[in-house]
Amino acid sequence: MSHSYLIDIDRLRVDIQELGAIGYDAQTKGINRIGFSKADYEGRLWLMDRFRQEGLSPYMDGACNVICRYGDEDAPAVMIGSHLDSVPDGGLFDGALGVLSGLEVLRIIKNSGIALKHPIEIVAFSEEEGRFGGMFGVQSLCGLIDPAWISSVQDADGIFLKDEMEALGLDPMVALNAYRSPESIEAYLELHIEQGPVLEEMKRTIGIVEGITGVFDWSVRLTGEANHSGTTPMDQRRDAFLGLCNFGHAFPQLIADHGSQISRLTIGKVELKPGFAHVVPGEVQFSFSGRDLSENVMRDLANASRELLSCIAREKNLMFEYEEKSWLSPKHCDAGIVTMLANEAENLGHEPVLMPSGAGHDAQFMTELTKAGMIFVPSVGGISHSPKEWTNWNDIEKGANVLLAGAIALAAK
Amino acid sequence: MSHSYLIDIDRLRVDIQELGAIGYDAQTKGINRIGFSKADYEGRLWLMDRFRQEGLSPYMDGACNVICRYGDEDAPAVMIGSHLDSVPDGGLFDGALGVLSGLEVLRIIKNSGIALKHPIEIVAFSEEEGRFGGMFGVQSLCGLIDPAWISSVQDADGIFLKDEMEALGLDPMVALNAYRSPESIEAYLELHIEQGPVLEEMKRTIGIVEGITGVFDWSVRLTGEANHSGTTPMDQRRDAFLGLCNFGHAFPQLIADHGSQISRLTIGKVELKPGFAHVVPGEVQFSFSGRDLSENVMRDLANASRELLSCIAREKNLMFEYEEKSWLSPKHCDAGIVTMLANEAENLGHEPVLMPSGAGHDAQFMTELTKAGMIFVPSVGGISHSPKEWTNWNDIEKGANVLLAGAIALAAK
């Protein structure tokens, strides 16, 4: 299918900048539209106004998702969206880009008079970033939220979600009504900034996401014996930290033997006890996480890591304990949509990169409900969740045009 | 030289137990005779009483060292001693053993009527453990203290040494008078618990110390870049912690290539930034210390460590910075005294172990002033600086008899 419709980057830029003024902190230069904050809610009302300016009738569902439908057809909808909430001191594009590109795509399709076989729905999900655990809006839409959770969940400051919703005039239990049946949705598309360095490094503009990597999180403890560093010979030490060093040193080999090109292993948090310069560390507690797009590869990496840590512990006379804090399975985008989006990107003159998403997105839940696809555009310096987050307007325009082409491919008669 | 004099272990045990009641905390079961505390001073007065009970005339020098001389000869003295102060919640033997074994040796020599060519002096040094930096008494005796230091030094709570001395009725500046000329001392002997696991592991009772190992202390920083652990591929990371892992993993090789059998390398303190489970650590700051009995080996280890860290930093695209916080040269015991003590130990039926001391002792300063030697007895479990510190009375007896034999060998006509 070939057409000549293109989005209006000036109009999209104005939208992004206007929304970006809501929750902007002049001191940090960061955007603060934390889920269910007043600024977040204000952003949602602003978006609803924007839809009304197009003569459309948006609504807010029970989970605070803003949804706007275009097209009279009694057929499953092609949904396009992302989230409007931000992390504390976040950037201009994370989430907002996907929603506002959707709005722009909707405008183009509406004004073009293209005949649709599927209506278009633009969705701005709520609380993606994690104030209350994250992905609240999309999980509500997918029917994954229950009443006990709604009434008990609190943020890090002990504030209840239900109280925040009531303060905004919302009835928390109505979130259960946000559920949408799979039959009501034809497909889901999301344009997002990459939030990583891959596209920039490869000098490419368009990424087509094959799936969202799964991740396992371990808390690991190696226990040896604390000793005086002067009086204890090397061969009589039970140095827990040198055990950890041997584990970290083996990461390249672990991935070569059991991982894939996109496997990721990370030790981000380490605590030594007693933690004095002249005491052999008798204990080390650390975080360990592994990611891949294949659950089998994740399983292999986890098994090999456990065996390696056991082996190191035996060799160095340490005790090895670990706890699997979480295991999130990878989520796969629809193969047909991946191919379609890659084709549309090529038609627009790009060389798209098929890649995983290492970060979580609303799309990961939508993969369970419908055929989902995601488009990435480059993040300058790979930076996100920061006032320094940036994507060039040229790249925004190109990404939004792939989104438009994908939407037309899916929805047009 | 052969003789049949032996110490009286029951008498020595009573001394150790009586002194051990001063500063004892029934709750922690630890001994608290912190340098220049009331309990420490009380211990010194108790010791002076003990000497008087033998009809001798002890004195306290300006640095709070208790000294008791026996023998009228106008000749350089054979000094025997250690310290009386303890760490917070310390054990029964650290320091006290060397002083009270000296007292017992003095009793035996006095009562035996052995003719001396050198008088015996027993010394109980002050503030060895480090409240005001450590080794105050022995450094005063060696003439290494100056007035500016005396008036300015504070403990960790900001209490001045001079105020503590004045509270005990002492004139701080008189510490300068504690200096003893090298000509006034023939030799120095110190019996001490090992505070490490070597003798116990080897099932030996007597260690003869060849020297006190030198130690260098570095503070090291590796700086990479903090990134999202999901979105940053392994080959685009600048993971500071994995750089440190490669360094720690190389310790056995570093020692094999540049160290000796007694070299010790320790990373005791590690701080990651930002230190979150899902962020690639952009910075790691850590302590690194190396020890050996040879200054050349220390230099080789330091150079090889610096080169290895530079090499890791290049390979992993990190910045490597370090600061040498301190460099303490090794101190060597007198070769003649080492041989003499080993021979006396063999005469008493032991297989002495020639070994380094990895911990610091008053003897390390005495090596500069005179011919010094040290005897070690085993520490159960290698434990010291703890209420759990223990040495079997059998081993105490054997060690004190080697000290007695050494003193007679050096002092008798």
Q: For B296-338, write each residue's pLDDT tens digit.
A: 999 999 999 999 999 999 999 999 999 999 999 999 999 999 9
Q: Which residues contact B159 (CB under 8 A, 6 or more apart)?
A: none
Residues B112, B259 within the same domain: no
Nearest-by-CA chain B residue for A229? B266
Residue A356 CB neighbour total at 10 angstroms: 28
Spatial distance between the Cα atoms of B190 and B186, rounded to a whole number of angstroms: 14
Spatial distance between the Cα atoms of A80 and B325, rounded to a whole number of angstroms: 59
Residues B296, B319 within the same domain: yes
- pLDDT at position A309: 98
Spatial distance between the Cα atoms of B195 and A346, rounded to a whole number of angstroms: 72
Q: Please list the pLDDT of chain A residue by residue as tens digits (413 residues).
A: 457 899 999 999 999 999 999 999 999 999 999 999 999 999 999 999 999 999 999 999 999 999 999 998 789 999 999 999 999 999 999 999 999 999 999 999 999 999 999 999 999 999 999 999 899 999 999 999 999 999 999 999 999 999 999 999 999 999 999 999 999 999 999 999 999 999 999 999 999 999 999 999 999 999 999 999 999 999 999 999 999 999 999 999 999 999 999 999 999 999 999 999 999 999 999 999 999 999 999 999 999 999 999 999 999 999 999 999 999 999 999 999 999 999 999 999 999 999 999 999 999 999 999 999 999 999 999 999 999 999 999 999 999 999 999 999 999 99
Residues B300, B357 within the same domain: no
Residues A6, A152 within the same domain: yes
- Terminal-residue alpha carbon distance, chain B: 11
The beta strand positions in B213-343, using DSSP E, are 214-223, 227-228, 264-266, 270-273, 279-280, 283-292, 319-328, 331-332
Strand partners, B67: B59, B123
Residues A27, A152 within the same domain: yes
Nearest-by-CA chain B residue for A193? B231
Residues B152, B249 within the same domain: no
- pLDDT at position A74: 87
Nearest-by-CA chain A residue for B246? A249
CATH number reported for the structural domain that contains residue B299 in this entry: 3.30.70.360
Spatial distance between the Cα atoms of B70 and B58, rounded to a whole number of angstroms: 9
Q: What residues of A are in contact with residue B213 (Cβ under 8 Å)? A: 230
Whether residue B153 contacts residue B133, with contact meaning beta carbons closer than 8 Å, is answered with: yes
Q: Tally the residues of chain A.
A: 413
Among left, alpha and beta (phi > 0; psi -120 to 50; other), residue B145 is beta
Strand partners, B317: none
Nearest-by-CA chain B residue for A378? B231
Spatial distance between the Cα atoms of A36 and A412, rounded to a whole number of angstroms: 35
The minimal CB distance from B229 to the residues A234, A270, A289 is found for A289
Residues B68, B190 within the same domain: yes
Domain end (from B282, B305, B328) = B328
Q: Which residue has the tokens 């379609």?
A: A340
User: Which range marks the domain in which residue B260 is found?
Assistant: 214-328
Shortest distance, CA A130 to any CA of chain B (angstroms): 14
Summarize pLDDT for B2-49 with one digit per residue, the tens. Answer: 578 999 999 999 999 999 999 999 999 999 999 999 999 999 999 999
Residue A37 CB neighbour total at 10 angstroms: 19
Secondary element (H or E) of residue B59: strand B59-60
The minimal CB distance from B287 to the residues A245, A267, A277 is found for A277
Are residues A230 and B249, on separate chains, in Cβ contact within 8 Å? no
Q: Which residues contact A195 (CB under 8 A, 6 or more apart)?
A: A94, A359, A379, A382, A384, A385, A389, B228, B231
Residues A303, A348 within the same domain: no
- pLDDT at position A72: 82
| Burial of residue A93 (number of CB atoms within 10 Å: 0-12, 13-18, 19+) | buried
Nearest-by-CA chain A residue for B312? A249
Identify the DSSP state of A116: B
User: Do β-strands A30-31 and A24-25 pair in parallel, antiparallel, or remain unpaired?
Assistant: antiparallel
Q: What residues of A are in contact with residue B269 (Cβ under 8 Å)? A: 272, 275-277
Q: Summarize the confidence of residues B103-117 as an average pLDDT.
A: 96
Are residues B196 and A231, on separate chains, in Cβ contact within 8 Å? yes
Residues B239, B380 within the same domain: no
Spatial distance between the Cα atoms of A244 and B249, rounded to a whole number of angstroms: 9
Whether residue A332 contacts residue A326, with contact meaning beta carbons closer than 8 Å, is answered with: no
Are residues A233 and B262, on separate chains, in Cβ contact within 8 Å? yes
Are residues A268 and B277, on separate chains, in Cβ contact within 8 Å? yes
The minimal CB distance from A233 to the residues B198, B232, B384 is found for B198
Strand partners, B288: B218
Domain end (from A311, A328, A345) = A328
Domain end (from B310, B328, B346) = B328
Q: What residues of A are in contact with residue B286 (Cβ under 8 Å)? A: none
Write the single-letter amino acid at B22: I
The minimal CB distance from A229 to the residues B229, B251, B289 is found for B289
Are residues B266 and A357, on separate chains, in Cβ contact within 8 Å? no
pLDDT of B1 > 60? The answer is no
Q: Tally the residues of chain B.
A: 413
Summarize pLDDT for B241-275 with one digit per residue, the tens. Answer: 999 999 999 999 999 999 999 999 999 999 999 99
Are residues A232 and B196, on separate chains, in Cβ contact within 8 Å? yes
Which CA distances in Å does A329 have to A300, A307, B120, B131, B192?
14, 21, 78, 55, 60
Are residues A275 and B268, on separate chains, in Cβ contact within 8 Å? yes
Spatial distance between the Cα atoms of A16 and A396, rounded to a whole number of angstroms: 11
Residues B175, B222 within the same domain: no
Domain count across chain B: 2
Q: pTM score, two decimals?
A: 0.90
Nearest-by-CA chain B residue for A244? B245
Among left, alpha and beta (phi > 0; psi -120 to 50; other), residue A257 is alpha
Secondary element (H or E) of residue B60: strand B59-60
Summarize pLDDT for B155-168 with one digit per residue, the tens. Answer: 999 999 999 999 99
- pLDDT at position B186: 97
- pLDDT at position B2: 58
Spatial distance between the Cα atoms of A176 and A153, rounded to a whole number of angstroms: 15
Residues A341, A379 within the same domain: yes
pLDDT of B175 > 60? The answer is yes
Peptide bond into B274 cis (omega under 30): yes
Residue A339 CB neighbour total at 10 angstroms: 13
Q: What residues of B are in contact with residue A272 (Cβ under 8 Å)? A: 268-270
Are residues A278 and B266, on separate chains, in Cβ contact within 8 Å? yes
Are residues A231 and B275, on separate chains, in Cβ contact within 8 Å? no
The beta strand positions in A201-334, using DSSP E, are 207-212, 214-223, 227-228, 264-266, 270-273, 279-280, 283-292, 319-328, 331-332
Residues B276, B355 within the same domain: no
- pLDDT at position B74: 87
Secondary element (H or E) of residue A166: helix A161-167
Spatial distance between the Cα atoms of A148 and B403, rounded to a whole number of angstroms: 75
The HSE-up count of residue A279 (CA atoms within 13 Å, CB side) is 18
Spatial distance between the Cα atoms of B70 and B116, rounded to a whole number of angstroms: 10
Whether residue B190 contacts residue B105, with contact meaning beta carbons closer than 8 Å, is answered with: no
Q: What is the mean pLDDT of chain B?
A: 96
